[in-house]
Amino acid sequence: MKNRFFARVIAIVLAVIMLLSVFWVVLNAVTASARVTQTEINKLKEEKKEFERKKREIQSRINTIDFERMTEVAKKSVLDDQIMLTGLEIDNIAETIIFYEELISEKELEVIAAKHREDQQLSNYKNRVRDMEENGVISYLEIVFDSTSFSDLLARIDFVGDIMQADERMYKDLIVAKQETEAAKEVLEQTKLEMEDEKSLKESKQVELEEQLDEANALIEKIEADLESERELRATVEAEEEKVQREINQKEAELRRQQEEERKKKAAQNQVKGTGQLRWPVPSNGNVTSGFGIRLHPVFKVYRMHQGVDIGAKHGASIVAADTGRVITSSYNSSYGNYIVISHGNGMTTLYAHLSSRKVSEGASVSKGQVIGLAGSTGVSTGPHLHFEVSVNGSRVNPMKYL
C-alpha cells in the first residue's frame, strides 16, 4: 500500500512538471508572435496619427482666405492631397484590421492553452484529493511510525512535510491557472472590440472619401461649365501635357544612354526591355470611356486633342504596368494628378494618370502586369478612371493599336 502511494505521488509530480514544460513552450511561442503583431499594430496607429496631422494641416489651409483666392486648378490640387491622405488612412486601417485578425487568432490559442493548463491542474488536484480521501491521515501516521530509527523518523517527517507543501502548491497552481484563463479571455474580448472599432472607423473614412471625391468632381465641373475658365483650364492642361512629353523624351534619351553604357559594360541584368505588345492596364476590365484623338466639348463646341484613352475604373482599383520596363517618372502635377511613366526600352513609353496613389518610384524596374498604382481622380479629372497614353519614339500614338 505504501509503495503504491509513493509511486502515485511521484507519478503525479512528474506528470505535472512535464505538462507544464510543454505548455509553457507553446504559450511562450504564441505570446512572442502576438507581441510582434501588437508591435505592427502600434506602428500603424502611429502612422495613422501622422496622416491625421497632415489632414488637419490641409483642412486649416482650406479654411483660410488664401484658399478662396486660389485658382480653381490650384484648389483641386489641395483637394487631391486631402483625398490621397484619406485613401492612405483607409489602407492603413485595412492593414491594421488584418493584424488584429492575426492577433485574435493568437489570443484564441492563448485561451485554449490557458484553459488546458487549468483543466490539467484541476484534474491533478482532484486526483490528489481522492488519494487523500482513500489514504487519509493514517497513511501519514504509518509513514512516521514505521520508522526503523530516529534518523529514519526525522527523514520520514521531512518527507510528510514535503508532501503537504506539494499539496499546497498544487492548490495555488490551480488558482493561478484559473486566473490566467480569465485574463486571457478578457484580453481576447478587448482585442475583438478594438478590431470592431477599426472596422467602424474604416466605414466612416470611406464615407468621408466619397464626400471629398464629390467635392473635387464638382470643382472640375464648375470650371468646365464656364467658357473662360474652361479655356484657361485647357491651356493649362495642354501646357502640362507638352511639358510632360518633353520630360518623357529627355528621360527616355537618358535611359537609352545609360542602357547603352550598361550593355557595353556587359551589365545586361540591369537592362529592362518590353515586348512591344501591351496588356490592358486595368485588370478589372474597365471600358474605354473616351478615345484617342479630337473630341468636342459638349457645351462650348470647342475641339480639343485627347492624347490618350480614358478607361473606366473604380476608385482604388489596381492599375498595372502594360509591359515590362523601368519607371522614369512617378510624380504629381495639376493636370495629370498622380501619374507614372514607364519606359519599355524599345522606343515606347506608357503613361498612367489621375491615380489615387503611386506604388512605384522613379528608377524602379517593373514587370508586365505588376501593380504600379491605384485608380483615382486626381488632377483635371471628373470621376475615377485611368488616363492611359502611349508614346513611340517621342510622339503620342493611339494606345488601342498596341493593346
User: Can you give the residue ranges of every domain in the chain?
Assistant: 2-222, 228-401
The grid cell for 33 is: 508572435
Residue, of 81 and 120, whose pLDDT is higher: 81
CB atoms within 10 A of CB 292: 21
Question: Mean per-residue pLDDT for 348-373?
Answer: 94
The grid cell for 164 is: 503537504
Q: pLDDT, tens digit, for every residue of 370-396?
A: 999 999 999 888 889 999 999 998 889
pLDDT at 280: 95
CATH 1.20.1050 fits 2-222, yes or no: yes
The grid cell for 218 is: 464638382
Q: Which of 144-158, 220-234, 296-310 has the lowest mean pLDDT?
A: 144-158
Mean pLDDT of the chain: 79
pLDDT at 2: 47
Question: Mean per-residue pLDDT for 255-261?
Answer: 75
Classified by CATH at the fold level, domain 228-401 comes out as Glucose Permease (Domain IIA) (2.70.70)
Which DSSP category does 401 fall into? G
User: Would you say residue 53 has pLDDT above 50?
Assistant: yes
Residue, of 65 and 95, whose pLDDT is higher: 95
User: Would you say residue 31 has pLDDT above 90?
Assistant: no
Instruction: Note the pTM of the prediction, 2 decimals.
Output: 0.65
Residue, of 90 and 261, whose pLDDT is higher: 90
